[in-house]
Amino acid sequence: EVQLLESGGGLVQPGGSLRLSCAASGITFSSYAMSWVRQAPGKGLEWVSAISGSGGNTFYADSVKGRFTISRDNSKNTLYLHMNSLRAEDTAVYYCAKVQTAAAGTGELDYWGQGTLVTVSS
């Protein structure tokens, strides 16, 4: 059974930093790209970032480019999202999701975690 468990969310002040983690089990982690998707309270889904199975290719939404960094540790079956210069508009539930393929942009998101809430507020 595929399981994705996010952690690391919480309350952070504007301009602050936070690192989200997503621990994966039930899959050969390095064989699949992974992605982060967020959902602001009462709003729709927003694709944030993706990383290839090897970690060699990364992609970002314009709204987070230059502030967020996606990475992975295939030896630990763990995906990360490093978030810097956080803004109020980054407040959202952050989901990690498995991509159907090893390439980051091509496959669908076939398994999702339950999400972790990030609140950016003073």
* Interaction site with another protein (CB under 8 A): 35, 37, 44-47, 50, 59, 61, 95, 100, 104-106, 108-110, 112-115
Nearer to another protein, 29 or 95 (CB): 95
CA distance 82 to 101: 23
Nearer to another protein, 15 or 105 (CB): 105
User: In the 3-class helix/strand/coil scheme, how is 11-65 assigned residue by residue?
Assistant: EECCCCCEEEEEEEECCCHHHCCEEEEEECCCCCEEEEEEECCCCCCEEECCCCC
CA distance 112 to 116: 12
Question: CB of residue 112 vs another protein: minimum separation in angstroms?
Answer: 4
Question: CB of residue 11 vs another protein: minimum separation in angstroms?
Answer: 20
Nearer to another protein, 2 or 15 (CB): 2
